Amino acid sequence: MTTEIISPHLRPESKHLRDLESESLHIIREVVAEFDRPGLLFSGGKDSAVLLHLALKAVRPAHLPFPIVHIDTGHNFPELLAFRDRTVGRLGLDLVVGSVDDAIASGRILAPAGADISRNRLQTPVLLETILKGRYTAVFGGARRDEERARAKERVYSLRDEFGQWDPRNQRPEVWNLYNGCINPGQHMRVFPISNWTELDVWRYIAEEQIELPEIYYAHERQVFERDGMLMALSSLMQPGHGETVGTRTVRYRTVGDMTSTAAVASEARTPEDVITETLAMRISERGETRADDRSTDAAMEDRKREGYF
Amino acid sequence: MDLLRIATAGSVDDGKSTLIGRLLFDSKSLDDDVLAAVEDASRRHHGDYVNLALVTDGLRAEREQGITIDVAYRYFSTETRKFILADTPGHVQYTRNMVTGASTAEVALVIVDARNGVVEQSRRHAVIASLLGIDHIIVCVNKMDLVGYDESVYEAIQAEFAELMAEIGVRDLTTIPMSALHGDNVVEPSANMSWYNSEPLLRLLEQVPVRQGLDDLPLRLPVQYVVRPHRAEHHDYRGYAGSIASGVLRVGQRVSILPSGHESVVTAIEAPWGLVEEASAPDAVTVRIADDLDITRGEMFCAVDDPPQTTQEIEAVVCWMDDRSALRRGDIYRIKHTTRSAKAMVTGINARFSIVSLCGEPDVNSLDLNEIGQVSLKISVPLACDDYRRNRVSGSFILINEATNATVAAGMIGEPQFSFARSER
Ligand SMILES: Nc1nc2c(ncn2[C@@H]2O[C@H](COP(=O)(O)OP(=O)(O)O)[C@@H](O)[C@H]2O)c(=O)[nH]1
């Protein structure tokens, strides 16, 4: 019998969410117990919002015993940065920012010419630099195995070398719920507590737990233009090219990365429940629909992960 | 909606990838663009038909070499159930991947080619599933279209499997005749095999009982992490966080804490969704107790009337998973058992099991990659443990090589699930 319900929308038909939630809490607690310096990658997107929510539950009623780390590409949606700062303020979190702009300004990395070039690749060196500087031994990420086929093969504990590289042919076997957190000097672990969640699981959990997200995840009016079949937001970074016309549409975002590489989808979904209904009807994967960065080749994600992407 | 974990295995070309592609496709768990990419790739690689097997292709090296290297996880769901499927490659050299996939699964799907019947690989898969404590094995007799949907072919395979299952102690065996390529008996019933009067695979998967009997086992709750807020409003708060492995935990219940041997009474249980009066596996909870005791990570909350054994000497079945070294007598490893880490010395290798002949060779010198055997270990601290056949959480462990930090073995405490005949040397 339940005496006090913290999650008011807990429903018996979502028993599977509760099992996934417990699995994620188990993973987070293993890391907190076994690693001296964890950090949590927080992009402000829905997966990292869920991850943060789970991390808070894992240590409740204590404060989060580690910082959240944001890799700011300098091409973020302003709504995302506002959400990040709001969240940090509300929860009293420790925020560490790794800035791609700073890295470019100081000459540590070279910016490709053109404002609308994706900074996805540039994130990787800045992420590594930030991990090194913070001396993090474990870094939580919100990646899910259903997102992409290289991810489908990645362990929950993904060992990375000095260069942050993932070696898919040399992964440690991961049996039962016994995670091996031993690392050599210079190595670190990327840990993915929501590996087994699907896009739909994430949305159902957001609905049940009433997790706040940046407003751009829900239908809103926006000036967009069409490029390669995708709806790109008009901004100082993204201007229509020849033959591309700008129009106001009702859209939302399914994933949120760089403004230059994330597309919106036409949608009327204004609540998590609406999004669930729409997702159930939709038959296009989120990365395929909205991420220009993953459409370049068959193995785009695999290549980026090998180089240290999360 | 509940959650079922499945492991699949089949030898190369039996049609495992096609079956999984079909399950995902027919249960509408596949997105249109993924399908388009597969159609595209089918055209590039093979020519004129859509190769559903490509749905499950992962890494570039796998696509180039046309083989599967590692365990991949797939997700699909129906109205009543979400499925997590560990897709493991079937080559002999990948026993360790099969063990990985099977370790968390409740059902094993074994795929056989109707034309070849029960081959060595199918036996191997069934035996590993059994050793890992999987109660339900579903044998998919695939490519029935290539044997003219002949009932007698199916029956012969079914009989052979039933015999094997009796030998290896599997409780629940189901066989299904199917054609993954044409979709017969995968999601839709088959019009070609009216003699088969049970349901298609997906419907059967919806009916497999989940976590059967775990609540009836004695309480086991390994402490993962001690929550100490150090905040004014929670000044004296001390909570013990962990995931319930078995049994039911109740407020007011008397528990023993092992291996230290303390006893206390549960005063509060916090589940992820709030304070509760009782909780059970697999809930991740935080527990508070009446007494101010010094309890740390690695201790286990246990039923007072049915505690695990606390010991520094264990016998266990291990699968050796390291390709750079072998297990030898006298070696010392780091052991991780529940949330407890310690050192373990190999004091004996009592047998090496052949999972093909089901014979055990006594007193061997080493275990190499993908070999399974029975070992004796001496542990540097007492472990509170159960026989794996009774409890998959408090009965399992991993060994870690302290020099490389690699996970080198998966271990199951106690005797194997069934007895291996003694082989003569
Ligand atoms: N005729 C027939 N061919 C099948 C069937 N299932 C799979 N195949 C074919 O068998 C070959 C091997 O299948 P695949 O799924 O790649 O096997 P895997 O190596 O076990 O993953 C492919 O050419 C498939 O098209 C079936 O039910 N009937």
Which tens digit of pLDDT belongs to each residue from A224-243? 898 888 888 888 788 888 88
How many percent of chain B have pLDDT more than 90? 71
* Residue B73 and residue B167 in one domain: yes
* Residue B143 and residue B277 in one domain: no
Q: Is the CB of B200 under 6 A from ligand 1?
A: no
* Residue B129 and residue B197 in one domain: yes
- Report chain A's mean pLDDT, rounded to a whole number: 86
* Residue B149 and residue B233 in one domain: no
- Report chain B's mean pLDDT, rounded to a whole number: 90
Res A2 pLDDT > 90: no
**Structure tokens, B102:** 């099977």
Candidates A37, A95, A46, A64; CA nearest to A214 is A46
Candidates B319, B247, B305, B391; CA nearest to B94 is B319
HSE, side-chain direction, 13 A CA sphere, residue B344 = 30
CA B245/CA A194 separation, integer angstroms: 20
Which tens digit of pLDDT belongs to each residue from B113-155? 999 998 888 888 899 999 999 999 999 999 999 999 999 999 9
HSE, side-chain direction, 13 A CA sphere, residue B126 = 33
* Residue B48 and residue B173 in one domain: yes
Q: Is the CB of B180 under 6 A from ligand 1?
A: yes
Candidates A169, A162, A161, A159; CA nearest to A190 is A159
Which residues from B are below 8 Å from A289, CB to CB? 33
Answer yes or no: do B59 and A168 touch at CB < 8 A. yes
**Structure tokens, A254:** 């399914």
Which residues from A are below 8 Å from B71, CB to CB? 153
Q: Looking at residues B305-315, what average pLDDT do you find?
A: 97
CA A189/CA B358 separation, integer angstroms: 39
* Residue B265 and residue B318 in one domain: no
At A227, which amino acid appears?
R
Answer yes or no: do B270 and A58 touch at CB < 8 A. no
Q: Looking at residues A261-265, what average pLDDT do you find?
A: 86
Helices (H), B196-315: 201-207
Nearest to A176 among B41, B103, B227 (CB): B103
Distance in Å, alpha carbon of A4 to nearest chain B alpha carbon: 5
Nearest to A150 among B59, B82, B286 (CB): B59
Report yes or no on whether pTM surpasses 0.90. Answer: yes
Note the pLDDT of residue A63.
93
Q: Is the CB of B16 under 6 A from ligand 1?
A: yes
Which tens digit of pLDDT belongs to each residue from B184-215? 999 999 999 999 999 999 999 999 998 888 99
Tokens 């909350």 identify what position? B301
| Mutation probe of ligand 1 site: the residue of B13, B20, B67, B110 with most atoms within 8 A of C-beta | B13
Q: Which of A236-240, A297-301, B107-111, B413-417 has the lowest mean pLDDT?
A: A297-301
CA A82/CA A210 separation, integer angstroms: 19
Q: Looking at residues B74-97, what average pLDDT do you find?
A: 85
Note the pLDDT of residue A17.
95
Are B75 and B29 in contact by the 8 Å Cβ rule? The answer is yes
* Residue B64 and residue B199 in one domain: yes
* Residue B54 and residue B176 in one domain: yes
Residue B214: inside a domain: no
Q: How many whole angstroms from B144 Cα to the centroid of ligand 1?
A: 11
Distance in Å, alpha carbon of A29 to nearest chain B alpha carbon: 6
Split at pLDDT 50, 70, 90, the class of A103 is confident
CA–centroid distance for B372 within its chain: 16
CB pairs under 8 A between A and B: 195
CB count within 10 Å of CB B261 equals 12
Write the DSSP symbol of residue B189: P
Split at pLDDT 50, 70, 90, the class of A254 is confident
- Domain(s) labelled CATH 3.40.50.620 in chain A stretch across 15-202+300-306
Nearest to A150 among B58, B334, B405 (CB): B58
Note the pLDDT of residue A230.
85
Helices (H), chain A: 15-34, 46-59, 78-91, 100-105, 120-134, 199-209, 272-281, 286-290, 300-306
Higher-confidence position of B239 and A102: B239
Q: Is the CB of B18 under 6 A from ligand 1?
A: yes
State whether ipTM is beyond 0.85: yes
Which residues from A are below 8 Å from B272, CB to CB? 7, 18, 21-22, 25, 57
Q: Which of A256-260, B32-36, B208-212, B361-365 has the lowest mean pLDDT?
A: B32-36
Note the pLDDT of residue A289.
60
Split at pLDDT 50, 70, 90, the class of A194 is very high
Split at pLDDT 50, 70, 90, the class of A6 is very low
Which residues from B are below 8 Å from A152, CB to CB? 58, 72-74
List the single best residue of B69, B70, B210 to mutate versus A (max A Cβ within 10 A). Answer: B70
For residue A102, what are the contacts with CB-CB under 8 A and spacing of at least 6?
Answer: none
Note the pLDDT of residue A188.
95
CA B266/CA B256 separation, integer angstroms: 10
Q: Is the CB of B179 under 6 A from ligand 1?
A: yes
Residues comprising chain A, all counted: 310
Answer yes or no: do B100 and A175 touch at CB < 8 A. yes
Give every strand in the sheet of A157-160, ordered side by side. Answer: A95-99, A68-72, A38-41, A138-140, A188-191, A157-160
CA B295/CA B290 separation, integer angstroms: 13
* Residue B7 and residue B122 in one domain: yes
Residue B148: inside a domain: yes
Q: Looking at residues B330-344, what average pLDDT do you find?
A: 98
CA–centroid distance for B106 within its chain: 7
Note the pLDDT of residue B96.
85
Distance in Å, alpha carbon of B275 to nearest chain A alpha carbon: 5
Are B359 and B368 in contact by the 8 Å Cβ rule? The answer is no
Give kind and range of the element (H or E) at residue B254. strand B254-258
At A218, which amino acid appears?
Y
Residue B212: inside a domain: no
Which residues from B are below 8 Å from A175, CB to CB? 99-100, 103-104, 396, 398, 407, 410
Residues comprising chain B, all counted: 425
Radius of gyration of chain A (CA): 19
Q: How many whole angstroms from B90 Cα to the centroid of ligand 1?
A: 14
Res A101 pLDDT > 90: no
Which residues from B are below 8 Å from A26, CB to CB? 224, 243, 284
Residue B41: inside a domain: yes
Q: Which of A168-177, B58-67, B160-169 has the lowest mean pLDDT?
A: B58-67
Residue B399: inside a domain: yes
Q: Is the CB of B56 under 6 A from ligand 1?
A: no
Note the pLDDT of residue B397.
98
At A71, which amino acid appears?
I
Q: How many whole angstroms from B23 Cα to the centroid of ligand 1?
A: 14
Last residue of a domain, one of B154, B173, B207: B207
Q: Which of A8-12, A129-133, B49-53 has the lowest mean pLDDT?
A: A8-12
Split at pLDDT 50, 70, 90, the class of B407 is very high
Backbone angles phi, psi at B90, to 5 degrees: -100, 0
Q: Which of A273-287, B60-74, B91-105, B263-277 has the lowest mean pLDDT?
A: B60-74
Which tens digit of pLDDT belongs to each residue from A170-192? 889 999 999 999 999 999 999 99
CA B217/CA B305 separation, integer angstroms: 12
Q: Which atom of ligand 1 is nearest to the CA of B56?
A: 21
Last residue of a domain, one of B183, B207, B231: B207
Note the pLDDT of residue A287.
56
Residue B264 domain boundaries: 220-303
Split at pLDDT 50, 70, 90, the class of A4 is very low
CA B121/CA B93 separation, integer angstroms: 11
Q: How many whole angstroms from B4 Cα to the centroid of ligand 1?
A: 25
Note the pLDDT of residue B247.
97
* Residue B193 and residue B175 in one domain: yes
Q: Please report the sign of the dihedral spanned by the C-alpha atoms of residue B323, residue B328, residue B332, residue B334.
A: positive
Whose C-alpha lies nearest to ligand 1, atom 12?
Answer: B13
CA B121/CA B110 separation, integer angstroms: 10
Among A81-95, B83-97, B113-127, the range with the most confident prediction by mean pLDDT is A81-95
Note the pLDDT of residue A5.
40
Paired sense of beta strands B332-337 and B327-328, if any: unpaired
Res A199 pLDDT > 70: yes
Residue B213: inside a domain: no
How many percent of chain A have pLDDT more than 90? 55
Angstrom distances, CA of residue B75 to CA of A148, B279, B319 = 12, 27, 27
Residue B142: inside a domain: yes
Are A39 and A134 in contact by the 8 Å Cβ rule? The answer is yes
Note the pLDDT of residue A8.
45
In order, the DSSP letters of A27-77 are: HHHHHHHH-SSEEEE--SSHHHHHHHHHHHHHHTTSPPSS-EEEEE-S---
Answer yes or no: do A153 and B70 touch at CB < 8 A. yes
Split at pLDDT 50, 70, 90, the class of B57 is low
Q: Which CATH number characterizes residue B281's domain? A: 2.40.30.10
Q: Looking at residues B387-405, what average pLDDT do you find?
A: 97
Res A259 pLDDT > 60: yes
* Residue B45 and residue B65 in one domain: yes
Split at pLDDT 50, 70, 90, the class of A21 is very high
For residue A53, the chain B residue with the least C-alpha distance is B272
Last residue of a domain, one of B257, B286, B303: B303
Q: Which CATH number characterizes residue B134's domain? A: 3.40.50.300
Candidates A81, A40, A80; CA nearest to A59 is A40
Which tens digit of pLDDT belongs to each residue from B266-285? 999 999 999 999 999 999 99
Angstrom distances, CA of residue A284 to CA of B52, B297, B402, B404 = 17, 44, 46, 42
Q: How many whole angstroms from B1 Cα to the centroid of ligand 1?
A: 31
Q: Percentages helix, strand, coil for chain A, rounded to the nearest 5?
A: 40, 15, 45
CA–centroid distance for B196 within its chain: 29
Residue B88 exposed, middle or buried by CB count within 10 Å (0-12, 13-18, 19+): buried
Domain count, chain B: 3
Distance in Å, alpha carbon of B356 to nearest chain A alpha carbon: 23
CA B304/CA B306 separation, integer angstroms: 6
Give every strand in the sheet of B172-177, ordered side by side. Answer: B72-77, B81-87, B2-10, B107-113, B136-142, B172-177
Which CATH superfamily includes the segment(s) A15-202+300-306? HUPs (3.40.50.620)
**Structure tokens, A251:** 């859209």
* Residue B167 and residue B281 in one domain: no
Note the pLDDT of residue B408.
97
CA B90/CA B106 separation, integer angstroms: 19
At A109, which amino acid appears?
I
